[in-house]
Copies of this chain bind each other. A is one copy, B any other.
Amino acid sequence: MGYTGKYLDVDLSTGKVKVNPVPWDWLRDFLGGKGLGARILLDELPPKLDPLSPDNLLILLTGPLTGTTMPSSGRWTIVVKSPHTGTFNDSHIGGNFGAKLKKAGFDFVIIRGKAPKPVYLHIFDGGAEIKDATDLWGKRIFEVDDILHDRYKDASVGAIGPAGENLVTFACISFDKGRQSGRGGTGTVMGSKNLKALVVQGTGGINYHDADGFRQLVAKLNQKLRKHPVRMKRHKIGTLNCIWEGIDGGVLPFYNYGGKWDARIIELVPQVLIEKGMLQGKRGCYSCPFVCTNYTRIPKGEYAGKAYEVPEYEPTALFGCNLGIFSYEDIVYAHTLCNDLGVDAISMANITGFAMECYERGLISSEIPLNWGNGDAVIEFIKSVAYKRGIGELFAGGVKRAAAQIGKGSEKFAIHVKGLEIAGVDPRASWGMALAFATADRGGCHQRAWTPRAELYGKVDKHSPEQLAHFVRYVQDERAAAYSLVVCDFMPISEDEFAELITKDTGFEIEADSYVKLGERIWNLVRIFNLREGFTRKDDTLPARFFEEHIEDGPAKGEIIPRDKFDKMLDIYYEIRGWNKEGIPTESKLKELGLSDLSRELR
């Protein structure tokens, strides 16, 4: 079981809400989350659909493990065609929303159409209702969150802010204030549908194929995880611990990935947040033994004195050293503002770096003084983007669109892949990330394969195209399976253990090999979606800066990505994927993966 066997189909245009049964073969072949969302999106969307069209889908998906007693079963997924990039986009969220959705009785929810006026969707045990949101429209997220939590006890609430309403292409959805569906504009899709918020109340139980076996396995896993090194590293200070690896490996971005190094980075080592008395405690997702999210007092601005679930590593690196800002005070303020106005903090911070470089080079004029290190300017800039006013208008579509408008060579340092701003790693210092960013399905994403640790610890030779191609490919497949379960990036659970969890949960007989193979099937499915949209080998690349400018200083001084090495890495990667030179899956690969029916999409 592991599933409810039902899903909600919500048409905002007609106002109809249906409860449908889930075809079991979808579950067996794609599990849930990313995989299932990809299958639905590929089947339902016509090629080249405008992502802001009412016909785009907003799919909320759990996986077979969501809401179970498994450690960290709070994860769940939103799938859309991205209005930011035009690619497939899966976004994975922690917290409690997913578990409640499952407990309300649904494996997933398809939201289609466009409401004639602002609405929110209230999901409850066995059904859902579309509700008027006229009074909520125009409000920031935290205020909406308070109102809806007041209205619905024990609910989990997700909402968009001004950015989503204004169709900023990288608008996020914030759940319960602290958990974001961040990347790729899922909030924009909500905005385009006049859907202000999602509310879920769910009180049902979870069914297991083999409840006793599952319980025993979970007990064993919990025992392992409680004493696992990853817990030691994550629990006390969360993802900020990655700052150490950034320092060791020289992968931190400085000054819009400008290849610099600034000694003031010492002010961003994780314990400074504690030193300054800002960290107030920790928050965890549903059923998580790691409890990694920092809960931090914001010392300045409109949130002064209140505490929120910030900061994470990526926005710290990107609002910090990448902007020449070395103050946690400025970083957590900017980070929180993004969550409240509803913009993806990673894209927003990266875009700010691009805007600052353009401003410092004299390529743009701006009413906000966008000088490196100006924390106050960052705050104003975020607002100008979210509300699309003044200089913000130019950047509300991300760096790719902005660079196309600005020209003057700015494309070279617009740091994105396929339109998605890359995360807080300089790929010159991590060739593995160069390949991972270039081939990530939703654009410059760091979560499809994270290589800096493996490179730093010598698990792969950081200058070997062969080793890196194999490593990235394997992790992408393994993650694609994990994102279909759905489980957190940080859970050190092995493929064997996942396979066993699935079997005991759902009854699907699965083993470690076929688990990773399932991930490969999903990765190829998504590739086909993107190919159909027109993305080809030429898009599996990086901004010219990384091929043409050496890192000037710091632990990775002198590093660059030679184009020939990159091309070789990509060639090898395609080859071991069973893709042709253009990055298109071969017929035999599709057949091997049971996806032969999709070869029609490639014609």
Interface residues of A, Cβ cutoff 8 Å to B: 226-227, 229, 231-233, 235-237, 244, 247-248, 250, 261-263, 265-266, 269-272, 274-275, 279, 456-459, 553-555
A226 near B456 with CB under 8 A, answer no
Task: Return chain B residues, CB-CB under 8 Å to A229.
Answer: 247-248, 250, 555
Residue A247 contacts which of B232, B237, B271 (CB distance < 8 angstroms)?
A: B232
Task: Return chain B residues, CB-CB under 8 Å to A459.
Answer: 458
- 7 A-B contacts, Cβ less than 8 Å apart? A227-B261, A229-B248, A236-B272, A237-B271, A274-B274, A456-B457, A457-B457
A244 near B233 with CB under 8 A, answer yes
Known A235-B266, A248-B229; judge A275-B274 contact (CB<8 A).
yes
Nearest chain B CB to A459 CB, angstrom units: 7
Q: 6 tightest CB-CB pairs across the interface, nearest first?
A: A458-B458, A227-B263, A271-B271, A274-B274, A232-B266, A229-B247
Task: Return chain B residues, CB-CB under 8 Å to A458.
Answer: 457-459
Task: Return chain B residues, CB-CB under 8 Å to A271.
Answer: 236-237, 270-271, 274
A269 near B236 with CB under 8 A, answer yes
- What residue of chain B has the Cβ atom nearest to residue A241's Cβ? B244
Nearest chain B CB to A47 CB, angstrom units: 45
B553 near A227 with CB under 8 A, answer yes
Q: With A and B bound together, what is the CA distance between A244 and B241 in angstroms?
A: 10
- What residue of chain B has the Cβ atom nearest to residue A223's Cβ? B263
* 20 extra interface residue pairs, beta carbon distance < 8 Å, beyond A229-B248, A233-B269: A226-B263, A227-B261, A227-B262, A227-B553, A229-B247, A231-B266, A232-B247, A232-B269, A233-B244, A233-B248, A236-B266, A236-B269, A237-B271, A244-B244, A271-B274, A274-B274, A457-B457, A457-B458, A458-B458, A458-B459
Q: With A and B bound together, what is the CA distance between A39 and B262 in angstroms?
A: 44
Task: Return chain B residues, CB-CB under 8 Å to A555.
Answer: 229
Nearest chain B CB to A484 CB, angstrom units: 29
- What residue of chain B has the Cβ atom nearest to residue A453's Cβ? B248
Task: Return chain B residues, CB-CB under 8 Å to A457.
Answer: 456-458
Nearest chain B CB to A347 CB, angstrom units: 27
Nearest chain B CB to A323 CB, angstrom units: 18
Q: With A and B bound together, what is the CA distance between A269 and B240 in angstroms?
A: 14
Nearest chain B CB to A100 CB, angstrom units: 30
Task: Return chain B residues, CB-CB under 8 Å to A263.
Answer: 226-227, 231
Q: With A and B bound together, what is the CA distance between A456 and B272 in angstroms?
A: 26
Residue A554 contacts which of B227, B262, B265 (CB distance < 8 angstroms)?
A: B227
- What residue of chain B has the Cβ atom nearest to residue A554's Cβ? B227
Q: With A and B bound together, what is the CA distance between A279 and B275 in angstroms?
A: 9
Nearest chain B CB to A253 CB, angstrom units: 16
- What residue of chain B has the Cβ atom nearest to residue A237's Cβ? B271
Nearest chain B CB to A199 CB, angstrom units: 36
Q: With A and B bound together, what is the CA distance between A555 and B555 in angstroms?
A: 27
Counting chain B CB atoms within 10 Å of each CB, which of A227, A265, A270 scores highest? A227
Task: Return chain B residues, CB-CB under 8 Å to A270.
Answer: 271
Q: With A and B bound together, what is the CA distance between A248 and B554 in angstroms?
A: 24
Known A237-B271, A274-B275, A275-B274; judge A232-B265 contact (CB<8 A).
yes
Q: With A and B bound together, what is the CA distance between A59 and B481 in angstroms?
A: 65
Q: With A and B bound together, what is the CA distance between A270 and B271 in angstroms?
A: 8
Q: With A and B bound together, what is the CA distance between A555 and B266 in angstroms?
A: 29
Task: Return chain B residues, CB-CB under 8 Å to A261.
Answer: 227
Q: With A and B bound together, what is the CA distance between A263 and B235 in angstroms?
A: 12
Q: With A and B bound together, what is the CA distance between A459 and B229 in angstroms?
A: 21
Q: With A and B bound together, what is the CA distance between A261 and B232 in angstroms?
A: 12
Task: Return chain B residues, CB-CB under 8 Å to A274.
Answer: 271, 274-275
Nearest chain B CB to A582 CB, angstrom units: 35
Task: Return chain B residues, CB-CB under 8 Å to A456.
Answer: 457
B266 near A247 with CB under 8 A, answer no
Q: With A and B bound together, what is the CA distance between A237 and B244 in angstroms?
A: 13
Q: With A and B bound together, what is the CA distance between A270 and B244 in angstroms?
A: 13
Q: With A and B bound together, what is the CA distance between A269 and B270 in angstroms?
A: 12
Nearest chain B CB to A62 CB, angstrom units: 30
B262 near A233 with CB under 8 A, answer no
Q: With A and B bound together, what is the CA distance between A85 and B553 in angstroms?
A: 46
Nearest chain B CB to A460 CB, angstrom units: 9
Nearest chain B CB to A243 CB, angstrom units: 9
Counting chain B CB atoms within 10 Å of each CB, which of A261, A272, A275 scores highest? A275
Q: With A and B bound together, what is the CA distance between A231 and B262 in angstroms?
A: 12
Nearest chain B CB to A461 CB, angstrom units: 9
Q: With A and B bound together, what is the CA distance between A227 and B272 in angstroms?
A: 17
Counting chain B CB atoms within 10 Å of each CB, which of A229, A237, A553 scores highest? A229
Task: Return chain B residues, CB-CB under 8 Å to A233.
Answer: 244, 247-248, 269
Nearest chain B CB to A124 CB, angstrom units: 39
Task: Return chain B residues, CB-CB under 8 Å to A275.
Answer: 236, 274, 279
Nearest chain B CB to A145 CB, angstrom units: 29
Q: With A and B bound together, what is the CA distance between A456 and B453 in angstroms?
A: 11
Q: With A and B bound together, what is the CA distance between A231 and B274 in angstroms?
A: 19
Nearest chain B CB to A242 CB, angstrom units: 12
Q: With A and B bound together, what is the CA distance between A346 and B401 in angstroms?
A: 61
Task: Return chain B residues, CB-CB under 8 Å to A279.
Answer: 275
Counting chain B CB atoms within 10 Å of each CB, which of A237, A272, A456, A458 scores highest? A458
